[in-house]
Amino acid sequence: MHATKDYLMRSIAGETILIPSGAAAQKFNGLVTVNALGAFIWDQLQEPITLDALVGRITDEYEVDEATARSDAEEFLSELRQIGALED
Q: Residue 6 sits in which domain range? A: 2-83
Closest CA to 52 of 75, 78, 70, 76: 70
Tell me, yes or no, whether 74 lies in a domain: yes
Tell me whether residue 56 is in a domain: yes
Q: What is the DSSP letter of 48?
A: -
Number of domains in the chain: 1
Residue 71 sits at φ, ψ, to 5 deg, of -60, -45
Does 71 reside within a domain? Answer: yes
Q: 52 lies in a domain?
A: yes
How high is the pLDDT of residue 29?
Answer: 83
> Could you tell me which residue, 25 or 1, shows the higher pLDDT?
1
Task: Write out pLDDT tens, residues 14-67.
Answer: 999 999 998 888 888 888 999 999 999 999 999 999 999 999 999 999 999 999
Contact 9, 16 (CB under 8 A): yes
pLDDT over 90 at 7, yes or no: yes
75 within some domain: yes
The backbone torsions φ and ψ at residue 48, rounded to the nearest 5 degrees and listed phi first, read -55, 140
Q: Is residue 88 part of a domain?
A: no
